[in-house]
Amino acid sequence: MTTAAKRGDRRISPVFLGIAAVTAVAGWAVWTGFADATGFAVFLFVTGAWIVSLCLHEYAHARTALHSGDTSVGTKGYLTLNPLAYTHALLSIVLPVLFVIMGGIGLPGGAVYIERGRIHGRWKHSLISAAGPLTNVAFAIVCTAPFWLDALDGVPVAFRYALAFLTMLQVTAAILNSLPIPGLDGYGVIEPWLSYRIRRQVEPIAPFGLIAVFAILWIPEVNIVFFDGIHTLLGGLGVEEFQRYCGYDLYRFWRGLFDERDPGCAVA
């Protein structure tokens, strides 16, 4: 068995590099307050960083599958970080971005197609599924580091707010996608350990798991309990609730075109 992939199959996609470049430029614009377009810059920065994290999430699945025996991930383009190469671009990129815009919720969707028949061993299958949420955990650690290290002196207020909101997206993504619900990675972790009968019964409803989670979170009582837990967790890491709220307020820059922004989120 080989885990080799052709050099061309591992070359980083220009599409990904372009998204990363836009994210970097937008981050600079947020930091400097360039052209007084802070809200739009926050939108581009957070959305770009979120898409980058989605690409890394799916890359982690593919890379783990490669080393577990599925060499087909290379020829499918999954190792290039190109979001356009994913099996379900709608579920992988479009819906997660819409979830952020509509409700400020970070929720990755299904994307890469792993040829499970090439992989032997239940632990390998579980690890492939766990690799994605673990990537979000790593991303969240990086985003929260300035807060719990108390290293925010000199960081512009708008950038703090944007980073706080991006942190919340990563934490919600890691938690929600780790739930043992069909269609999410958490279920993929436990699926190899379930009986064949149970797996067959669950298979038809798996494609609807992502939508079901989002719909359930729209129930006010569930939403309150969930975000109370998120606020408690992030608060323990030094990311204050008003910072996350103001980050989301700035992110929805289009609201400022029609309504007055929350004066408590002023950045100047």
Write the CB contacts of 64 (distance below 8 Å, at least 6 apart in sequence): 127, 128, 131
For tokens 């606020």, name the residue: 231
Q: What CA–CA distance (Å, rounded) separates 132 from 85?
A: 17
Please give the C-alpha separations between residue 232 and each of 126, 179, 264, in angstroms, as whole numbers: 29, 19, 21
Residue 58 designated active-site: yes
Q: Which positions are annotated as active-site residues?
A: 58
